[in-house]
Chains A and B, each alone.
Chain A
Amino acid sequence: MRSVHGLRRILSGARRLSLTACLLAAAACTATTPATDALRRDGLGDGTPRRAELTEVPFHAQTDYHCGPAALATVLQDAGIAATPDGIADAVFTPGRKGSLQTDMQTGARRQGAMTLPVHSIAEALRQVDQGRPVLVLQNLALEMAPQWHYAVLVGYDLDDGTVVLRSGQDKRRITDMGTFEHTWRRSGFWGFVLADPSAPPPAFATVSDWIGEAAGLERASRPERAEAAYRTALKTWPDAWQPWVAFANLRFQEGNLDSAEANLREARNRAPDNWIVLNNLAYTLLKNGKPRAALPIAEKAVAMADATQAEHAVADARATLQEIKDTLTDTSTAS
């Protein structure tokens, strides 16, 4: 019995292995250029033209290993921010690595007051070019096993010719086969971004969370005035969203302006009456603003709503706020 069972196990193991091999082979077969093929065949949709080029985007020839600063200065200048490759090199270049880390490219942009919105597909990248935004991309020009990382800026495409135009290295206008571009960009996991001006309307692909998240990054980069501009833009762009109001309230709370924080949170609550974050923050603001009695029922509802999300940290946070309100009320009643 045992040996039969063992044989069966080996056979089923082999079958599983061959199935795995088949699937891996299928995955290997897809190592072509599906995005390029689909785009050249079907176009970009939504009436987006089959070719576009941003001829006004400036060019900085890179020196030595400085493709990162050159590419970032290119998109920053295009966004109207006076930055030069040399001027931002200290912020984005790591001499010991002879290169620029991806995160430093993003923080470097933020420290100049610009927002970075990730673009992760060729279709979206081409659409951004059509809408006037150059796309900073990270390519691996060599092989996975021996990478040669390179930052470039996508400024044009032509679906009929099957080419893209890049500001790259020493070339102001490097024309690259679109399939080759797909391969070299894929090797970085399609890592790229466009810059956004906090005061200008967001690109269509950005969600309210993308936008607010980037704006919070501006706060981290010590550009609170740019963050506030971005929150204001969010209010206009997504008038029904609760997130921008909470972000505003957080800014006001940090400044110690509790009345304004409270007013902003009431606006948030009008839009999302059952959101535990809104309720928790409103309750906490009321507590700190000397209104623990008003805070109590709101904190109780926050706990109930946090429970419904089934996220442990949410429940713990909301409970902690409720507890502090209860403690405050107990202290007050004992004192009086």
Chain B
Amino acid sequence: MKTYRLKAIALTCAVSAAAPAVAPLSAQAAMVGTEKLVTQSRVDENRATIDAFMAREDVREEFRRLGVAPEEADARVAALTDAEAERMASTIRSAPSGQGAVGAIVGAGLIVFLVLLITDILGFTDVFNFTKNQNAS
């Protein structure tokens, strides 16, 4: 018991000591720093890379072949978080530009969809409606 209490006290001390170091939530007038700029423009770049990829006719054809309407594929991609978009964009960028690569990349994109599907089923996310149908009643 004693140890627990001590631990609790120690934890409180740590938290209160750390409190002043936490950045204030209210913004202040200032220059936006170079690192913050990078974070923001990287997000934009990733989305642009993915959009350009999804707009390619051979990619749309590949999705059709997989039984996914291109519009549906767009909707899935639009639902990616910034972190997921980052992963997908880097997959697209690191692939060779030849025709043969499209299937592999769409496959990698599908891995993201599979992750979403699995996390949906487990209840961590809520992207695919059909996994919830059984509980609808």
Q: Which residues of A contact B (CB under 8 A)?
A: 5, 8-9, 12, 15-16, 19-20, 23-24, 26-27, 34, 38, 42-46, 48, 120-121, 123-124, 205, 207-210, 212-213, 215-216, 219, 243, 246-247, 249-250, 253, 277, 280-281, 284-285, 287, 311, 313-314, 316-317, 319-321, 323-325
**CB contact between B134 and one of A8, A250, A253, A321 (< 8 Å): that residue:** A8
Determine the residue in chain A with the shortest Cβ distance to B28.
A320
Chain B, Cβ-Cβ closest to A315? B27
Taking A42-B98, A205-B93 as known contacts, 8 extra A-B pairs with beta carbons closer than 8 A to each other, sorted by chain A number, are A42-B96, A121-B91, A207-B93, A208-B41, A247-B34, A277-B36, A284-B31, A320-B26
Q: Which residues of B contact A45 (CB under 8 A)?
A: 96-98, 100-101
Interface size class of B (residues with CB under 8 A): 35 or more
Does B16 make an interface contact (CB < 8 A)?
no
Q: Take A20-B118, A208-B41, A316-B26 as given contacts and tell me if A250 and B34 are in contact as well, using a CB distance cutoff of 8 Å.
A: yes
Q: List 16 A-B contacts (CB under 8 A).
A: A9-B135, A12-B134, A23-B118, A121-B90, A208-B45, A209-B41, A209-B42, A210-B42, A213-B38, A216-B38, A246-B32, A280-B32, A287-B29, A317-B30, A321-B29, A323-B29
A205 to B92, CA, bound (A): 11
- In the complex, the chain B residue whose C-beta lies closest to that of A23 is B118
> How near does chain B come to A324, taking the closest CB pair, in angstroms?
4
Identify the B interface with A (CB < 8 A): 26-38, 40-42, 45, 90-91, 93-98, 100-101, 104, 114, 117-118, 121-122, 131, 134-135, 137
Chain B hits for A281, CB < 8 A: 31-32
How many cross-chain pairs have Cβ atoms below 8 Å apart between A and B? 115
B128 → A minimal CB distance (Å): 12
Interface of A (DSSP majority class): helix
CA distance A208 to B37 in the complex (A): 11
Say which residue of B29, B96, B117, B118 sits within 8 Å of A284 (CB atoms): B29
Q: How far is the CA of A135 from the CA of B57 in the complex (A)?
A: 34
Contact of A121 with B94 in the complex, beta carbons under 8 Å: yes
User: CA separation between A24 and B37, bound complex, in Å?
Assistant: 39
Chain B residues positioned under 8 Å from A207 (CB to CB): 42, 45, 93
Nearest-Cβ distance from residue B105 to partner chain A, whole angstroms: 11
